[in-house]
Amino acid sequence: MNPHDHLWLHFSRLSNYRDAPPPMIVRGDGAYVWDADGKRYLDGLAGLFVVQVGHGRHELANAMAKQASELAYFPIWSYAHPSAIALAERLADLAPGDLNRVFFTAGGSEAVESAWKLARSYFRKTGKPLKHKVISRQVAYHGTTMGALSITGIPALKQDFEPLIPSTFRVPNTNFYRRPPDAGDTPEEFGRWAADRIEDAIEAEGPDTVAAVYLEPVQNSGGCFPPPPGYFERVREICDRHDVLLVSDEVICAFGRLGEYFGSTRFGYQPDIITCAKGLTSGYAPLGAMIVSDRLTEPFLTGTNSFMHGITYGGHPVGAAVAMANLDVFEREDLNGHVRRNRDVFRSYLERLYDLPIVGDVRGDGYFYGIELVKDKATKETFTAEESERLLRGFLSKALFEAGLYCRADDRGDPVVQLAPPLICGEEHFAEMEQILRDVLTEAWRLI
Binding site residues, ligand PLP, CB under 6 A: 107-109, 112, 141-143, 216, 220, 249, 251-252, 277
Q: Kindly tell me which of 286 and 317 has the beta carbon lying closer to ligand PLP.
A: 286
- Is residue 161 left, alpha or beta, with left meaning phi > 0 and alpha meaning psi from -120 to 50? alpha
Give the full edge-to-edge strand order of the sheet including 40-43: 25-29, 32-35, 40-43, 405-406
CB 198 to ligand PLP: min, Å: 17
CB 40 to ligand PLP: min, Å: 25
**What's the CA gap between 121 and 307, in Å, rounded?**
7
Judge contact between 413 and 177, C-beta under 8 A: no
Alpha helices in 256-353 (DSSP H): 263-267, 294-297, 317-333, 335-351
Nearest residue to the partner ligand PLP, using Cβ: 108
Judge contact between 377 and 386, C-beta under 8 A: no
Please name the amino acid found at residue 83. Answer: S
Q: Kindly tell me which of 148 and 239 has the beta carbon lying closer to ligand PLP.
A: 148
Q: Kindly tell me which of 382 and 397 has the beta carbon lying closer to ligand PLP.
A: 397
Nearest 10 degrees: Cα torsion 188, 193, 197, 200:
120
Q: Kindly tell me which of 139 and 244 has the beta carbon lying closer to ligand PLP.
A: 139
Q: Kindly tell me which of 249 and 411 has the beta carbon lying closer to ligand PLP.
A: 249
CB 128 to ligand PLP: min, Å: 26
**What's the CA gap between 372 and 391, in Å, rounded?**
13
For residue 163, whether the previous peptide bond is cis, meaning omega lies within 30 degrees of 0, is yes
Residues in the chain: 448
**Paired sense of beta strands 40-43 and 32-35, if any:** antiparallel
CB 365 to ligand PLP: min, Å: 15
Q: Kindly tell me which of 108 and 413 has the beta carbon lying closer to ligand PLP.
A: 108
CB 68 to ligand PLP: min, Å: 22
Q: Kindly tell me which of 109 and 293 has the beta carbon lying closer to ligand PLP.
A: 109
Q: Which of 269, 278, 220 is nearest to 247 (CA)?
A: 269
Q: Kindly tell me which of 365 and 432 has the beta carbon lying closer to ligand PLP.
A: 365
**What's the CA gap between 129 and 208, in Å, rounded?**
9
CB 106 to ligand PLP: min, Å: 8
CB 279 to ligand PLP: min, Å: 11
DSSP assigned state of 395: I
CB 299 to ligand PLP: min, Å: 26
Q: Which of 336, 346, 343, 329 is nearest to 260 (CA)?
A: 336
